Amino acid sequence: MKKILFTLLLIFVIATESFSGDRMMLIEFFTSSTCYPCALNNPALIAFINSKDPSVLAAIGFHMNWPAPGNDPMYLYNPTDNTTRRNYYGINSIPQGRYDGIISYTTSALQSVFDSRKDILSPVTIIVRDSTFGDSVAVKTWIYCETMLDNPNVSVLIGIKEDSIQYSSPPGSNGETFFPWVMRKMLPTGGGTPVILNPGQLKYLEYKYKIDPVWNNNVISHLVYVQDNGTKEVLNAGKTIKNFAMISNPGFRSVNQGSANSGTYKIKIPFTASGYNSPVTLTATVEPNNAGITTSFPNGNVISTFPDSLTLQVNSTASVPAGVYKIIVTGTNTAGKSHKVAVDYLVGKSYITVQTNPALG
């Protein structure tokens, strides 16, 4: 019998490229209604964010209690969460912000940073749904880990933000009356929820909050982001689903090197937005490209009823070198909106993980 040898990629020593599926970039900005330089900076920042596809770039604003007199009403509404995020980044001057947690930016560099990040695919998929019961809202979040992370210990942060606050007269000393994407509450706290993400794992979080009558509930939205607390990089962000979401099962397959093999995956659309009915066509690519690895959808590549799934089959020849190959699946609807999800096809290698997936529902 042929002896089978695997190279075991232990979760604490693996070093791989970690980017796979859809990325929503995030700008966290720090400001105050008593900060005159903020009033000069914010119009350019707001215009830039509004110029981008909201499914590609998200923003959340944290308000500070300086400069004097330090009476910013949006800070005073929730000093704890505003201060927690300030301390996390060590913010001691404003205006200031972070792009995906790791890049300090100037307004003149916003576009160049955007261009440098927009094509970096994310290692995690975030699905966000919500349900309202009277004066209470449940925010439901699924975090799907598509590949091995350099650091599987991450935090999931859930922000409740008021996307537009308009005062009839300036509430502070800098003359501003309009404040967008204002953080109202972080769930459960500004420190987030610690989770461990391994390849193919699906984590479910649900938090409830009371609607405050002082909010304009018509512009309240939910923002979820996953952050590596070692590097502070935001791996991905997500908002309440607007069209469709995709995940895969399993997240990876391991096959022997030196013989022809195949593996199958289910590509699922578990949730769609209310009223959504646009068929989704699936395509697949292999990275790095290798002529010995081919993909197919044996039962067709169009999902037209929801929720539903299709089988992705990956075949490899005996000549394919050992390695980690990413199969990137793109789903595109009839309106041209697309989402990506990735699976790992491991030739002569394997991940050692404990996989416990909650149900989608």
DSSP letter at 74?
H
Nearest-5° Cα angle at 151, 149 to 154: 100
Task: Report pLDDT digits (tens) over 88-114.
Answer: 999 999 999 999 999 999 999 999 999
Residues 6+ apart with CB under 8 A from 247: 125, 127, 142, 144, 202, 268, 270, 341, 360
Domain boundary among 220, 239, 258: 239
The answer to the question of residue 11 being in a domain is: no
Q: What is the pTM of this model?
A: 0.91
Averaged over 149-176, what is the pLDDT? 98
Mean pLDDT, the chain, rounded, equals 92
Same domain, yes or no: 192 and 281? no
pLDDT tier, 334 (very low <50, low <70, confident <90, very high otherwise):
very high
pLDDT tier, 350 (very low <50, low <70, confident <90, very high otherwise):
confident
DSSP letter at 109?
G
Task: Report pLDDT digits (tens) over 201-217.
Answer: 999 999 999 999 999 99
Residue 14 pLDDT exceeds 60 = no
Residue 351 pLDDT exceeds 90 = no
Counting the structural domains of the chain, the total is: 2
The residue type of 227 is Q
Phi, psi dihedrals of residue 178, rounded to the nearest 5°: -115, 130
pLDDT tier, 226 (very low <50, low <70, confident <90, very high otherwise):
very high
**Cis peptide preceding 79, ω within 30 of 0:** no
Per the CB < 8 A criterion, the answer to whether 310 and 282 are in contact is yes
Averaged over 182-188, what is the pLDDT? 99
Domain that includes residue 330, residue range: 244-352
Residue 227, token pair as written in the block: 């952050």
Same domain, yes or no: 61 and 184? yes
Task: Give the number of residues written for the chain.
Answer: 361
Same domain, yes or no: 105 and 232? yes
The answer to the question of residue 123 being in a domain is: yes
Same domain, yes or no: 268 and 203? no
| Distance, CA of 319 to chain centre | 36
- Tell me the C-alpha distance between 63 and 56, whole Å: 24
Helix-helix angle 110-117:36-50, to 10 degrees: 40
Averaged over 9-28, what is the pLDDT? 58
Averaged over 326-355, what is the pLDDT? 90
- Tell me the C-alpha distance between 136 and 239, whole Å: 18
- Tell me the C-alpha distance between 256 and 262, whole Å: 10
Same domain, yes or no: 143 and 108? yes
Which residues sit opposite 31 in a β-bridge? 63
Averaged over 242-260, what is the pLDDT? 96
Among 209-218, 294-303, 331-340, 343-352, name the one with the lowest average pLDDT: 343-352
Domain boundary among 184, 207, 239: 239
**Three-state secondary structure call for residue 10:** strand
- Tell me the C-alpha distance between 322 and 153, whole Å: 28
Averaged over 48-55, what is the pLDDT? 96
CATH number of the domain that residue 308 is part of: 2.60.40.3880
Same domain, yes or no: 300 and 232? no
The answer to the question of residue 7 being in a domain is: no
Please report the pLDDT score of residue 148 as a whole number. Answer: 92
Residue-wise over 115-124: b if at least 16 C-beta within 10 A, else e?
eebeeebbbb
pLDDT tier, 22 (very low <50, low <70, confident <90, very high otherwise):
confident
Task: Report pLDDT digits (tens) over 187-206.
Answer: 999 999 999 999 999 999 99
- Tell me the C-alpha distance between 175 and 171, whole Å: 8
Where does 141-290 have alpha helices with state H?
none
DSSP letter at 211?
P
Per the CB < 8 A criterion, the answer to whether 223 and 58 are in contact is yes
- Tell me the C-alpha distance between 88 and 184, whole Å: 18
CATH number of the domain that residue 121 is part of: 2.60.40.10
Closest CA to 78 of 88, 68, 86, 67: 86
Nearest-5° Cα angle at 301, 297 to 304: 145
Torsion angle in degrees (nearest 10) through CA of 57, 101, 148, 14:
150
The residue type of 127 is I
Same domain, yes or no: 30 and 127? yes
Averaged over 253-260, what is the pLDDT? 97
Averaged over 20-44, what is the pLDDT? 94
Please report the pLDDT score of residue 166 as a whole number. Answer: 98
Residue 275 pLDDT exceeds 50 = yes
Residue 20 pLDDT exceeds 50 = no
Please report the pLDDT score of residue 359 as a whole number. Answer: 59
pLDDT tier, 356 (very low <50, low <70, confident <90, very high otherwise):
very low
Same domain, yes or no: 218 and 254? no
Among 6-20, 72-86, 166-180, name the one with the lowest average pLDDT: 6-20
The answer to the question of residue 14 being in a domain is: no
Domain boundary among 239, 268, 285: 239
Residue 353 pLDDT exceeds 70 = no
Same domain, yes or no: 100 and 133? yes
Residue 352 pLDDT exceeds 90 = no
Please report the pLDDT score of residue 360 as a whole number. Answer: 65
